[in-house]
Amino acid sequence: MRRERLLPYSYNVGNTGSMSDTLKIEQRSQGVVHHDYRRGPGDLLLETIKRMVRNPETRHNLFATYAAMADAIPPHARPNLDLEKTIRFQDRSVPLTLASPIMLAAGGNKHANHLAAYAGMGFGAVSVGSATREAREGNPFRPRMRMFPADRSMSNSMGLNNPGIEAIATEVDKALGKCHRRKMVLGISVADTPGIEEPDAKIAEVLATFRRAYRAADYIELNVSCPNTGENRMDTQEAFLAELLHEIMEARKGLAPKKAVLVKLSPDLSARALDANLQIISDAGVTGLVLFNTFPSDKARYLRMSTPESEIMPVTGSEGKGGLSGRILYKNTLPAVQYIRRQLPKLAIFACGGVDHGSKVLDLLDAGADAVQCYTVIAYRWNAVRKMNRELLEAMRARGIQSLDGYAPTA
Ligand SMILES: Cc1cc2nc3c(=O)[nH]c(=O)nc-3n(C[C@H](O)[C@H](O)[C@H](O)COP(=O)(O)O)c2cc1C
């Protein structure tokens, strides 16, 4: 793996980061364009809904129901835009054919509800979960989500609530055929169960969840970077991460067909820790990366948000656990994708963090991403994914790009 002297990050506040690193990186990320969007009548309706349903977690829980309703209403039932893309993997995992390169990030549908309806919203994939082996209630305190409109961002401290891998995989099994007919694929995000400390037991737990997820889904994400429980940051335990990924990739050798396995990292790793993680991932023969998870809330000061720090922390009862998402992450996402693409030219990359405009999708594809993921934009933009699909198509037309299939960025 080739090393670079300059650091990729807007913030470099992880294990060994320093403020001087941060400054160097900010200089580098000046090329990031935010592609702002105009707010329309739909966004006003969304604001009204937010005033009526004040609890963000309740709104989040209604999202799948909304997806099912919206899908049933013509003329929007099938957005007919030519954004099809087939993702081919260097390790010869089964290719993924998506009607759009925009995927719903993990956490957006934790219960595997109404999965096929997300095709009608414009998604080309849904990363379901994260799933743990058994069902979990998540963190016991409330609220677990807070909105920061000035930054079009939010913090969450859900704590991996989910119905468990068996329930999730069963729903994915049922929905997969219909999703494929609509050119939407389904991944399952696998997380370890908080509370299991003994390393062998932890690996056995993740392997069991992984095996069940693998049977059901088109691709697997390994969530080794959840900041919400205080126990799921395996990307900061390098020796353990290496062992875990080795075991998972060994297990995959005995499973057919070969499906893509991607590791999801945290955006707060220092340059050294990031390089160490990339080396581990490369050595393990993992198919790709999801860049990134939420940014740990207790480091919010490094993001230079418009929302005062006193309002960001603490989320009630969260003891500093939790993650920030949304627009404030984008200034990191783009340069990080560029950097990692140069380091590991053959790995698949799903870019995630602050994607809220179709032109950002094209910029990320240009930077070397194979697809993008988003979630927080849905809380700020009405009909967000259909709009982003249209913006993406306009951005492609403006540059004479006929189709995403076979599009080879020159950047
Ligand atoms: C409420 C909420 C719950 C989330 N749950 C998960 C999760 O269970 N697993 C996971 O890998 N990421 C989870 N995420 C992180 C998202 O998948 C994504 O990485 C992050 O929000 C950045 O993307 P965005 O800026 O488009 O929201 C969650 C994010 C939010 C806002």
Rounded distance, CA 9 to CA 11, Å? 5
Instruction: Provide the terminal-to-terminal Cα distance of the chain, rounded to the nearest Å.
Output: 20
- Cβ distance 312 to 155 under 8 Å? yes
**By C-alpha distance, which of 298, 296, 305, 293 is closest to 320?**
298
Q: Whose CA is nearest to atom 29 of ligand 1?
A: 107
Of the residues 293, 332, 333, 378, which should be mutated to test ligand 1's pocket, given the most ligand atoms within 8 Å of the CB? 293
- Cβ distance 319 to 341 under 8 Å? no
Spacing, Cα 376 to ligand 1 middle (Å): 8
The DSSP result for 259-274, as a single string, is: -EEEEEEPTT--HHHH
> Residue 154 falls within a domain, yes or no?
yes
Rounded distance, CA 14 to CA 196, Å? 24
Rounded distance, CA 181 to CA 230, Å? 40
> Residue 30 falls within a domain, yes or no?
no
For helices 238-253 and 271-284, what crossing angle results, to 10°? 20
DSSP assignment letter at 97: E
State how many domains the chain has. 1
Please give the chain's pLDDT, 411 residues, in tens.
444 433 444 444 444 444 344 434 444 454 688 788 888 888 888 888 888 888 888 888 887 787 788 777 665 555 556 899 999 999 999 999 999 999 999 999 999 999 999 999 999 999 999 999 999 999 888 888 999 999 999 999 988 999 999 999 999 999 999 999 999 999 999 999 988 889 999 999 999 999 999 999 999 999 998 888 777 788 888 999 999 999 999 999 999 999 999 999 999 988 888 999 999 999 999 999 999 999 988 888 888 889 988 888 756 666 768 899 999 999 999 999 999 999 999 999 999 999 999 999 999 999 999 999 999 999 999 989 999 999 999 999 999 999 998 787 765
Contacts (Cβ under 8 Å, ≥6 apart) of 139 = 157, 158, 159, 161, 228, 229, 317, 318, 321
Q: What is the CATH number of the domain that holds 341?
A: 3.20.20.70
> Residue 408 falls within a domain, yes or no?
no
CB of 352 within 6 A of ligand 1: the answer is yes
> Residue 4 falls within a domain, yes or no?
no
pLDDT of residue 61: 81
Q: How far is CA 277 from the centre of its chain?
A: 18
> Residue 406 falls within a domain, yes or no?
no
> Residue 298 falls within a domain, yes or no?
yes
Instruction: Please tell me the total number of residues recorded for the chain in this structure.
Output: 411
pLDDT of residue 103: 98
**Nearest atom, ligand 1, residue 145 CA:** 1
Q: Whose CA is nearest to atom 26 of ligand 1?
A: 374
Q: Is residue 43 classed as helix, strand or coil in its secondary structure?
A: helix
> Residue 411 falls within a domain, yes or no?
no
**Nearest atom, ligand 1, residue 106 CA:** 17
> Residue 33 falls within a domain, yes or no?
no
Reading the block at residue 268, the tokens are 């707060």
**Nearest atom, ligand 1, residue 374 CA:** 26
pLDDT of residue 8: 43
Q: How many CB atoms are closer than 10 A to CB 253? A: 9
pLDDT of residue 26: 44
Residue 192 amino acid letter: D
pLDDT of residue 174: 98
The DSSP result for 272-312, as a single string, is: HHHHHHHHHHHHHT--EEEE--PEEGGGGGGG--SS-HHHH
CB of 102 within 6 A of ligand 1: the answer is no
Rounded distance, CA 119 to CA 185, Å? 9
Of the residues 111, 294, 377, which should be mutated to test ligand 1's pocket, given the most ligand atoms within 8 Å of the CB? 294
Residue 5 amino acid letter: R
> In terms of residue numbers, what domain contains 286?
19-24+40-72+83-398
